[in-house]
Amino acid sequence: MTYHNFLASKRIEAAAAGIARSADDLHPKLFPFQRTLVAWALGVGRCALFASTGLGKTLMQVEWARSLDVATLILAPLCVSEQTIREAQKIGVTVNRVGGGGIEITNYERLHQVDPERYGAVVLDESSILKSIDGVTKRRLTEMFAKTPYRLCCTATPAPNDTAELANHAEFLGIMRRAELLATFFVHDENGWRLRGHARRAFWRFLTSWAMFLRFPSDLGFEDDGFILPRLDIRDITVPSGPVDGALFHEFAVGGIRGRLSARRGSLTARVQATSGLVKSRPGPWIIWCGLNEEQRAIERELKNEVASVYGAQSPEEKTELLLSFLRGNRRVLLTKPSIAGFGLNLQHCHQMVFLGLSDSFEEYFQCIRRCWRFGQTESVTAHIVVGEAERAVVDNVRAKEREATAVADETMREAAGLERVILSAGATRELPEGTETFEGECWRVTQGDAVEVLPTIQAATVDLSIFSPPFLSLYTYTASGRDIGNCRTDEEFLAHFGFVVQELIRVTRPGRLACVHVAQVPTTLVNQGVIGLKDFRGRVIDLFIAHGWIYHGEFTIPKNPQAQAIRTHAKALLFAQLRKDASWLRPALLDFVLLFRAPGTNLVPIKPDITNEEWIQWASGVWNGIKESDTLGVSGVRDSDDDRHVCPLQLGVIERCVRLWSNPGELVLSPFAGIGSEGYESVRLGRRFLGIELKPNYARAAVKNLQAVERVIVGQGDLFARSSGDRSNPVADGPP
């Protein structure tokens, strides 16, 4: 496999599993943007349409099902089935109840009556239900349709930081398990799960490989004609509050659920009177959203026969009949809770609503408003929020969430729109190559770029010693690039990527010379591997080098301070508390190793190190004591704001021992992962020449500063960089090798 193809294989994207259809072949009654989205969804096969309310998700899902020409089940919220059947007739498609054949529809409440084996495709209408329904139903949905070839989720645009909704969609569609998605793109801290800084680009590329986000057709480059929202008028009505659990000041009484509930009940009579007065004084359809059964019963008494009152305890048939009585105009007022009718329904014939009190859920508030305020609404929409004085804190909380949601939605479209347009027009995204830049001193050269691409430019058999610490498998910790060897999902992918470097290293290394590879033991975690333990990273690296022709030459162990490691990592395997609680979890501190590999052939220039017999006796023991963990170059100002960990440079004492033991003064030392230049710093200080490669630009700049600094210090110490004997070329002094 070529390196270019390997990088393409690393991209975390959903594999296409659908059928090819041209947008021109789809029903002409669909708008151009709708036909384009349906054609994309057919090609992907298992995907999501995250489109704002009123953009025609119903027609798109029906046309998707018609084009597949397989038995299809549409699952929809209560009463949405009737609307879907009517919408489908606009494009000549018949949607039947379950048992009618072809494209069938039912609601989520009847999921237990469904036989998934009968269907080749499934649609989740208002698929945000994957987040809001209980865990048992969500798991049942995912398990029932795990083998269904074609799956489509349709809902309004979720926030990209809503990990539950995105993860549940990815899991239902069979794209990525929730645990894998979190471990790949997110990091968990005191504020919960947050997107890794360097994962942003890969995360959006991943999302847009199986999901399309849009609030307006123009987000995808189409005209917005016919898709302009009418005016929305939000009116606050504040009524007096009664006593709240005996609190003297209202603002101190609603800090928790109990206080909020008490405040809501304390203002119930005044809110009901204000709401009934509004509805009686203004003709036309109304929706009243309530949260408590006592609110609902009180309004029923006020408005009597005008009300279609829908409760959670009613059967699906009763709920459907009452909702239809409102939709058909038989009842002027719909009275219900957001959890019952706040999702999926198209209630555009109504443009007036009242929130009889408000919960802290912005999502419920937003979805309820969007039942009426949606594309296709011909009237301005007015929403009245009726609360007691003590409940203003709840309103303020929802408004704050609204501002945050708006900002997140704007960010969503900024991130997604460009990628989506490329995907819809060209069918794929490409990884752009990283730029390279070279910096030079009298005795060193640093190239900022990808080691796999830079190493082939080095002349064969010119490197006397390599010393480096390879990036460990840790997704999006230091860069967002697919060229970052650390950005791999599995050990196998990491080793395959690292293998491109290893095979070039043996080409550029002189026969009989060494590569010193610093590695550490790698723990496993419950989140990533499902078990707490260790993986044999050291052994995998040894096998990799041997597979590419290197000779395993030996290794040195670098002990670690267990107390310092316990403080830094909080590993319970090292804690005093665990010693007394359950010693079965105890293990030694994680060790570092320097692995030695020798290139085949005979070394033509003997190495004459300035090592005393006493030093060699100590070092030859195989345990390198005396290495201080803090003996590193300073990293101040190097870390990016997106970095999730501090850079951890290799200890200078380790580098010094390797350079002194296995190279002569004036010889060339290489690090393909130069970081901030630690290997170069010690090599130059000890009179060697240095060639470094570093992918991350700010690390490369830091390496240049460190090399310039050490070069200034030793500039007056004589000709430390004279060429060694023989006819060796000098890649640094003589230009590119």
Structural domain total, the chain: 3
**pLDDT confidence of residue 252:** 44
- Output 660 or 244, whichever has higher pLDDT: 660
Q: Where residue 430 falls among pLDDT bands split at 50, 70, 90?
A: very low
**722 assigned to some structural domain:** no
Q: Where residue 343 falls among pLDDT bands split at 50, 70, 90?
A: confident
Same-domain check for residues 376 and 487: no
The whole-number average pLDDT for the span 291-302 is 92
pLDDT in tens, 200-223: 878 888 888 899 988 889 988 899
* Strand order across the beta sheet in which 307-309 lies: 232-239, 381-388, 352-356, 286-289, 333-336, 307-309
The whole-number average pLDDT for the span 56-60 is 93
The whole-number average pLDDT for the span 25-50 is 94
- Give the separation between CA 9 and CA 3, rounded to whole angstroms: 10
Residue 274 belongs to a domain with what CATH number? 3.40.50.300
- Give the separation between CA 10 and CA 208, rounded to whole angstroms: 16
Same-domain check for residues 539 and 682: yes
**428 assigned to some structural domain:** no
Distance (Å) of CA 698 to CA 256, 322, 470, 673, 675:
47, 64, 18, 13, 9
**409 assigned to some structural domain:** no
Same-domain check for residues 156 and 36: yes
**pLDDT confidence of residue 151:** 96
Query: Distance between alpha carbon 29 and the CA centroid of its chain, in Å?
Result: 36
Looking at the predicted structure, is the pLDDT value of residue 722 above 90?
no
Residue 516 belongs to a domain with what CATH number? 3.40.50.150
Same-domain check for residues 628 and 499: yes
**pLDDT confidence of residue 92:** 95
Structure tokens at 227: 């898709």
Domain end among 380, 403, 426: 403
Domain end among 165, 186, 220: 220
**pLDDT confidence of residue 603:** 95
Q: Where residue 489 falls among pLDDT bands split at 50, 70, 90?
A: confident
- Give the separation between CA 737 and CA 569, rounded to whole angstroms: 43
The whole-number average pLDDT for the span 529-546 is 90
**415 assigned to some structural domain:** no
Residue 204 belongs to a domain with what CATH number? 3.40.50.10810
Reference 339, options 325, 318, 319, 317; nearest CA is: 319
- Number of alpha carbons in the 13 Å side-chain half-sphere of residue 562: 9
**724 assigned to some structural domain:** no
**pLDDT confidence of residue 362:** 84
Same-domain check for residues 285 and 214: no
Reference 443, options 726, 685, 655, 684; nearest CA is: 684
**669 assigned to some structural domain:** yes
Same-domain check for residues 289 and 351: yes
Q: Please name the residue ranges forming H helices in 163-303.
A: 163-172, 178-185, 200-207, 257-266, 268-281, 293-303
**pLDDT confidence of residue 160:** 52
- Give the separation between CA 681 and CA 706, rounded to whole angstroms: 7
Same-domain check for residues 198 and 267: no
pLDDT in tens, 234-280: 999 999 876 655 444 444 455 556 667 777 888 899 999 999 999 99
Q: Where residue 138 falls among pLDDT bands split at 50, 70, 90?
A: confident
**423 assigned to some structural domain:** no
Same-domain check for residues 34 and 152: yes
Reference 480, options 204, 183, 212; nearest CA is: 204
Structure tokens at 677: 């230049």
Amino acid at 47: C
Same-domain check for residues 663 and 515: yes
List Cβ neighbours of 132 (8 Å cut-off, separation of 6 or more).
339, 343
Sign of CA dihedral 18, 22, 28, 29: positive
pLDDT in tens, 593-642: 999 999 999 999 999 999 999 999 999 999 999 898 888 987 665 665 55
Same-domain check for residues 500 and 623: yes
**721 assigned to some structural domain:** no
- Output 409 or 257, whichever has higher pLDDT: 409
Same-domain check for residues 382 and 442: no
Burial of residue 190 (CB within 10 Å: 0-12, 13-18, 19+) is exposed
Is the separation of the CB atoms in 387 and 271 below 8 Å? yes
Residue 250 belongs to domain spanning: 232-403
Domain end among 403, 424, 457: 403
**pLDDT confidence of residue 316:** 84
- Give the separation between CA 268 and CA 262, rounded to whole angstroms: 10
Query: Phi and psi dihedrals of 86, rounded to 5?
Result: -70, -40
**Average pLDDT of the chain?**
85
Is the separation of the CB atoms in 153 and 124 below 8 Å? yes
Same-domain check for residues 694 and 552: yes
Position of tokens 């991209």? 11
